[in-house]
Amino acid sequence: MALTGAREIKRDSRVLAHLANTPGDAQVHQIGAALGLRDRSVARSLDRLTDDGLAVSLDTDDQPLPLRTYRPADHPTTLSIRHVDFHPVIVTATTDHPAAHPALTRPDLRIVRADSVRPGDLIVSAFAATPDGRLRSTDYFACGAYPAIPQPYDPECGCGVCGTPEVEGLEGTVVLSTSYPWESCDPWPADELVLVLPRPDLP
């Protein structure tokens, strides 16, 4: 029976987390023994992580599967693992932007729906569209992270962004900021995922 996408993502995140926290390189059988997974299951996760640019294979295809060796795509010291609200946050690359860089090392960094972002939360990143069963990836805004100032959504506000098809979600639309950091509203589909650093005085 095939694994569901959610289970594959969870397994992939466990494998990547193990790679990130293992000094040096790791072989398939070592990862499997540490995580209680079969070698073939580990190998499937590593194949996906390699395809997604998150892991690097150090062997040729003729190497026996249990002995195949992998490392994270980035230097291990640039990775950190956060598990918040059952969403694994795996930081594989950093940014020099002064507003975003400090947030990436915070243990309270979390993934929430756009309609769960609260006033004062720091919006760090959006998530790119990803095929089912693959880890969701993000990129950083050129403007850097910015504070959320949620406002009611008005598709007729005239800002040039509200009311466009791209921001209309099946569960509605929320506005997370107006005029900053762009000269327009910042509407998001309500169910879209957002990487945020919660406001310190909120639970």
CB 81 within 8 A of CB 88: yes
Domain membership flag for residue 176: yes
Question: Could you tell me if 123 and 190 lie in one domain?
Answer: yes
Q: How many Å apart are CA 19 and CA 14, to the nearest integer? A: 9
More confident residue, 146 or 95: 146
Question: Could you tell me if 73 and 103 lie in one domain?
Answer: no
pLDDT at 109: 77
Domain membership flag for residue 35: yes
Question: Could you tell me if 23 and 61 lie in one domain?
Answer: yes
Residues 6+ positions from 76 with CB-CB distance below 8 Å? 19, 20, 21, 22, 23
pLDDT exceeds cutoff 80 at 98 = no
Q: Could you read off the pLDDT of 22-79 as tens digits, one per residue?
A: 777 899 999 999 888 899 999 988 988 888 777 888 887 788 989 999 988 764 334 4
Name the nearest CA neighbour of 173 among 194, 148, 190, 196: 190
Q: For residue 103, what is the DSSP state?
A: G
Question: Could you tell me if 193 and 99 lie in one domain?
Answer: yes
The one-letter code for the residue type at 156 is E
CB 160 within 8 A of CB 185: no
Structural domain containing residue 32? 5-77
Q: What sign does the CA torsion over 61, 62, 66, 70 have?
A: negative
* Strand bridging mode 138-140 / 122-127: antiparallel
pLDDT at 79: 41
Percent of the chain scoring above 90 in pLDDT: 20
Domain membership flag for residue 90: no
Question: Could you tell me if 55 and 103 lie in one domain?
Answer: no
Name the nearest CA neighbour of 119 among 177, 167, 161: 177
What is the number of structural domains in the chain?
Answer: 2
Phi-psi map region of 86: left, alpha, beta (phi>0 left; psi -120 to 50 alpha): left
Q: Which two tokens stand for residue 137?
A: 């990836």
Phi, psi of 51, rounded to the nearest 5 degrees: -60, -35
Question: Could you tell me if 135 and 161 lie in one domain?
Answer: yes
